[in-house]
Structure 1
Amino acid sequence: MEAKHSHGCKGGEASGGNELPVVTTASGKVRGTVQYTNDLLDKPVYTFKGIPYAAPPVGDLRFRAPKPAVPWEGIRDASTLGAFCPQDMSFFALIATKLPHTVTDEDCLTVNIDTPTLEKNARLPVLLWIHGGGLILGMGEQFPYTSLAAHQDIVVVTFNYRVGPLGFLSTGDENAPGNVGFLDQVQAMVWVQENITNFGGDPGRVTIFGQSAGAASVCYQVVSPLSKGLFQRAISQSGVCQTCDTFSKPLERAVMLAEELGCDTKDTASMIACLRQKSTDDIVAAHQRLFMKIADLGFTSPFPPSVDGVFLPAHPNVLLEKGQVNTGSYLLGVNNHECGFLIPSSIVPNFGQGMDEETFSAMLKTLVRQPYPVSVQDNIVAVLRKAYCNGGDQDDPLATQYQFTKIMGDNMVVAPTASVADRIAGSGHVYLYENQYIPSFLSADRPDWVGCDHDDELLIVAGAAMLDVPRQDGGIMSFSEEDKKTSLYYMAYWANFARTGNPSDRTGGPVDSPTPTVPEWPQYTPGNPAYMKLDLTSSADIGFHPDRMALWNDVIPKLVAASGRDEL
Structure 2
Amino acid sequence: MVVPVVSTASGKVRGTVQYTNDLPDKPVYTFVGIPYAAPPVGDLRFRSPKPAVSWEGVRDATELGAYCPQDQDAFSFYPIQLKHYKFDEDCLTLNIETPTVAKEAGLPVLLWIHGGGFVTGLGHQVPFLSLSAHQDVVVVTFNYRLGALGFLSTGDENAPGNVAFLDQIQAMVWVQQNIRNFGGDPGRVTIFGLSAGGTSVCYHLVSPLSKGLFQRAISQSGVCQTLDVVSNPQERAVMLAEELGCDTKNIASMVEGLREKPVDQIVTCSKRLLKKLGSKGELMAFGPVVDGKFLPASPSDVFDLGRAHTVDYLLGVGNHEYGFQLPSELIRGFGRGITEERFLLRLKKRMGAVYPKSNLNNITSAIRRTYREGDNPDDPHALEYQFTQAFGDQMFVAPTVLAASKHAAAGQKVYLYENQYAPSSAAAVRPDWVGCDHSDDVMMVSGAAFLDVPLKVGALLPFSSDDKQVSMGMMAYWANFARTGNPSDRTGGPADSPTVPEWPQYTPDNPAYMKLGLTSSADVELKSEKMKLWNDIIPKLAASSRL
- Equivalent of 1:131 in 82, 90, 114: 114
**1:522 maps to what in 2?**
504
**1:32 maps to what in 2?**
15
With structure 2 as the length reference, what TM-score do the two structures score? 0.99
Which residue identity does 2:434 align to in structure 1?
Answer: V
**1:156 maps to what in 2?**
139
Cα distance in structure 2, aligned partners of 1:390 and 1:115: 48
- Equivalent of 2:467 in 459, 466, 483: 483
Partner SS, residue 355 of structure 1 = coil
**2:288 maps to what in 1?**
305
Which residue identity does 1:214 align to in structure 2?
Answer: G
Cα distance in structure 2, aligned partners of 1:396 and 1:531: 33
Shift of 1:392: 6.0
Which residue identity does 1:268 align to in structure 2?
Answer: I
* Residues 304-340 of structure 1 deviation map (CA, whole Å, 9 limit, x = unaligned): 2110000000000000111111233000000000000
Shift of 1:375: 3.1
Which residue identity does 2:472 align to in structure 1?
Answer: L
Partner SS, residue 48 of structure 2 = coil
Partner SS, residue 86 of structure 2 = coil
Report if aligned partners of 2:318, 2:420 keep a CA contact under 8 Å in 1. Answer: yes
- Equivalent of 2:245 in 262, 265, 273: 262
Shift of 1:395: 3.3
Cα distance in structure 1, aligned partners of 2:293 and 2:274: 27
Cα distance in structure 2, aligned partners of 1:434 and 1:250: 34
**1:68 maps to what in 2?**
51
Q: Does 1:551 align with 2:533?
A: yes
Cα distance in structure 1, aligned partners of 2:282 and 2:247: 29
**2:84 maps to what in 1?**
101
Once structures 1 and 2 are overlaid, which stretch shifts more, 337-346 or 288-297? 288-297
Partner SS, residue 563 of structure 1 = helix
- 1:295-334 alignment, distance < 5 Å: 295-334=278-317
Partner SS, residue 286 of structure 1 = helix
**1:146 maps to what in 2?**
129
* Residues 8-55 of structure 1 deviation map (CA, whole Å, 9 limit, x = unaligned): xxxxx3xxxxx3221000000000000000001000000000100000
- Equivalent of 1:220 in 203, 212, 231: 203
Report if aligned partners of 1:504, 1:518 keep a CA contact under 8 Å in 2. Answer: yes
Cα distance in structure 2, aligned partners of 1:104 and 1:352: 33
Which residue identity does 1:507 align to in structure 2?
Answer: T
- CA 1:199–1:170 in 2, change beyond 3 Å: closer, same or farther? same
Q: Does 1:84 align with 2:63?
A: no
* Residues 478-505 of structure 1 deviation map (CA, whole Å, 9 limit, x = unaligned): 1101101110000000000000000000
Cα distance in structure 2, aligned partners of 1:392 and 1:178: 49
Paired residues, what number? 546
Partner SS, residue 358 of structure 2 = helix
Shift of 1:390: 5.4
Partner SS, residue 541 of structure 1 = strand
Cα distance in structure 2, aligned partners of 1:93 and 1:537: 34
**2:325 maps to what in 1?**
342
With structure 1 as the length reference, what TM-score do the two structures score? 0.95
Cα distance in structure 2, aligned partners of 1:504 and 1:167: 37
Partner SS, residue 236 of structure 1 = strand
- CA 1:394–1:520 in 2, change beyond 3 Å: closer, same or farther? closer
- Equivalent of 1:431 in 415, 429, 448: 415
Cα distance in structure 2, aligned partners of 1:390 and 1:127: 41
- 1:413-492 alignment, distance < 5 Å: 413-426=396-409, 427-492=411-476
Q: Which runs of 4+ in 1 moved over 2 A?
A: 390-395
- CA 1:391–1:32 in 2, change beyond 3 Å: closer, same or farther? closer
**2:524 maps to what in 1?**
542
Shift of 1:373: 2.9
* Residues 159-203 of structure 1 deviation map (CA, whole Å, 9 limit, x = unaligned): 000010000000011111100000000000000000000000000
Report if aligned partners of 1:28, 1:74 keep a CA contact under 8 Å in 2. Answer: yes
Cα distance in structure 2, aligned partners of 1:564 and 1:93: 42
**Considering only aligned residues, what root-mean-square deviation do their CA atoms show, in Å?**
1.0
**2:363 maps to what in 1?**
380
Cα distance in structure 2, aligned partners of 1:336 and 1:395: 22
Report if aligned partners of 1:372, 1:560 keep a CA contact under 8 Å in 2. Answer: yes
Which residue identity does 1:445 align to in structure 2?
Answer: V
Q: Does 1:205 align with 2:213?
A: no
Which residue identity does 1:131 align to in structure 2?
Answer: H
Shift of 1:156: 0.1
**1:287 maps to what in 2?**
270
Cα distance in structure 2, aligned partners of 1:537 and 1:265: 58
**2:479 maps to what in 1?**
495
Partner SS, residue 265 of structure 1 = coil
- 1:185-200 alignment, distance < 5 Å: 185-200=168-183
Cα distance in structure 1, aligned partners of 2:6 and 2:310: 30
Cα distance in structure 2, aligned partners of 1:298 and 1:217: 21
* Residues 44-85 of structure 1 deviation map (CA, whole Å, 9 limit, x = unaligned): 000000100000000000000000000010100000100010
Shift of 1:378: 1.3
Which residue identity does 1:524 align to in structure 2?
Answer: Y
Report if aligned partners of 2:313, 2:413 keep a CA contact under 8 Å in 1. Answer: yes
Report if aligned partners of 2:490, 2:497 keep a CA contact under 8 Å in 1. Answer: no
Shift of 1:391: 6.7
* Residues 247-292 of structure 1 deviation map (CA, whole Å, 9 limit, x = unaligned): 1110010001000100000111100110011111111111111111
- Equivalent of 2:158 in 175, 194, 205: 175
Cα distance in structure 2, aligned partners of 1:561 and 1:535: 39
Report if aligned partners of 1:335, 1:453 keep a CA contact under 8 Å in 2. Answer: yes
Which residue identity does 2:185 align to in structure 1?
Answer: D
Shift of 1:560: 1.8
Partner SS, residue 533 of structure 1 = strand
Cα distance in structure 2, aligned partners of 1:439 and 1:185: 29
Report if aligned partners of 1:232, 1:326 keep a CA contact under 8 Å in 2. Answer: no
* Residues 333-373 of structure 1 deviation map (CA, whole Å, 9 limit, x = unaligned): 00000000001112223111111122112111111011113
Shift of 1:440: 0.4
Cα distance in structure 1, aligned partners of 2:280 and 2:15: 46
Cα distance in structure 2, aligned partners of 1:468 and 1:394: 43
**2:351 maps to what in 1?**
368
Shift of 1:129: 0.1
Report if aligned partners of 2:358, 2:543 keep a CA contact under 8 Å in 1. Answer: no
Q: Does 1:507 align with 2:491?
A: yes
Report if aligned partners of 2:154, 2:233 keep a CA contact under 8 Å in 1. Answer: yes
Cα distance in structure 2, aligned partners of 1:359 and 1:352: 14
Partner SS, residue 315 of structure 2 = strand
* Residues 381-419 of structure 1 deviation map (CA, whole Å, 9 limit, x = unaligned): 010011111576353000000000001000000000000
Which residue identity does 2:186 align to in structure 1?
Answer: P
Unaligned runs of 5+ in 1: 1-12, 14-18
* Residues 515-537 of structure 1 deviation map (CA, whole Å, 9 limit, x = unaligned): 21000000000101110000011
